[in-house]
Structure 1
C-alpha cells in the first residue's frame, strides 16, 4: 500500500483510513440490525449514558475531541432527537447536554450488538486488536506529555540549523544510493537494466573499479547522492546524480557535483564526462556552470536509452 511506504509521514492519513473503515463497519452493522444510531454518535451518547448530563466542554475533554467538533456533533444529535440542551440546575449560567427518551430507548437495545462488536473485532483482528488498543493508549499518553506539533516544530528548527554535509560512501548508506536514484528514475524515466545492476551492487560496479560515491547529508537525513565511475584509467563518468526534490533550494546538487569534480582532480583524471537528458533543464544549467560542455552528438556506445545529452568537463574553455 502506498501510504505504508511513507512511514511516519502518513500516520494521520492511515489512521483516518482505519477510522473510516471501523465507522463504516459499525454503521453497516447498526443498519443491518435496525439500530437507531450512527457510529459517530457513540462517544457522546455513551458518555452521557454513563455519567449523566454534562457540558460540551466536559464531553470534549472526556472523549478527546475538540470543543468545536463536539458542538457540531451535538447539533446533529439535537436534530436527530437524541440529545437536548438545558440549563444546568446547579449553575444557570451554563447549559448541559442530556439524553432524550428516544436516546435512552435506542441505547437500551444495543447490548447484544455491542457484545457482537467486541467479539467480532476480536474474531477479525485477533491479537492485533489488543495490541492496537494498547498502542493507541500509549500514543494518547505520550501526546499528553508532548504534543506532536510541538515536537515536529522543534525538530524542524534543529534540522534547518544544521549544515549540509557531503560524506563519502559507507555500507550503512547503501540503501540510500538505491532509494534516491530509483525515486528519480521512476519519476522522469524508468529504471533500465544497467541502472538496476549498478544500484544493487555499487561496491562492485563503482567502488572496486576505482570510483567514488558521495552523499549529501542534512542532520541525519540523506538527501542526495552522486557517483564518480572510472571507465578506464584516468577516464571518469559523473553518474547517478540524484537529489530528493523535497529538499530543493539547499544547494545539495551543486555541492555533490563540486565534490565529484574535486575527487576527479585529486585522482589526476584525464577526462570527465556525463550523459543526461534534454528535459532536465535545471541540471544541465548546473553542469554548464561547473564547466561541462555540450557535445554535438550523443556519446558513442552509450549504455542508456534515455541519454540524448553528452557533456565533457572542459573548465578552461569558453
Structure 2
C-alpha cells in the first residue's frame, strides 16, 4: 500500500477499484465453490428478480441504482445464459417484463447456504476491523448524494484561488478597469444606458464625491472585479450595491462573492441598515450570488434602467 500512502486521497478511485476487483474475484470463486452458475455483476439484478415479481428494466435500474443501459446489458447476458426470460406485459404490450427462468428460480432456491456462509464470513471480517466499512459506505453514499465529490473539489479550488484575491479601495488608476469590466458585461447582455455612462465615465463625481465607495478585486495584483456602493437619496435605502463586474477570464474563483461580502461589510461599518440593488433575472449566476449574500426580492420600484426587472434588498443585522 506504499503507493497509496504516497498519492494520498487523490487515488481514492483507484484504491476503491482495486478493493472492488479483489472482492469481485473472490465472489466469482465463491459461486464456483457452491456450484452456482452466476457472475458477480449479475447478482443485484438476480436478487431483485428472486423476490418473485417480474419487473421492467427501468424498475430494476431504479431499485439497484444502476443505469438503464447497464441493467439492460446484464439482463441480455442473463437471458443468453438461461437465467432470465423476457416477455411482453399482459396489460401494456409496449413494456418488456423480466423474470427469472426455471433455471434461475432453481439457483435462487439453492443459494440459502451460500447466503448464510457469505454473511457470516463478512461479519467475521468486519469484527476484525476498527472501522465498520458497511456503515462507512452508507455514510459516504449519503454525503455524496447531498454534494458530489466534483462540487466539493470545485469549492476547494475556489477557496484556494480566492487566497490570490485582494479587495482594495478604488484609486484613480483603476478608473479604466472599472469602466471596461462593466461595459463588457452590460454590452454582452443588454445595451449601455444613460445611467451607466454617468457612473462609468465619472465615478468620482457620480459615486465617490456623493458619499459612495468603489471596491476593486485584484487577482494576482491585476484588477479583475469591481463593485460600487452608491449613496441613495431615498427614505427607504441609504445605499445601493451596483456596478458589480468580474472579468470572464477569472470567473469561478469566488471573486463576486468576496466583492459582495466586502461591500456589505463596508455598508455595515457605515451604519447602514439596508442595501438595495437592481438586476435582471436573465443573469442567473448573479441572482444566485445575491441570494447567497442574503438579498431578497422586494416590490418593483421605478428604475433608471430599462434592463432592470428585479429589485432586491439586504437587511443588515
TM-score (norm 2): 0.48
TM-score (norm 1): 0.47
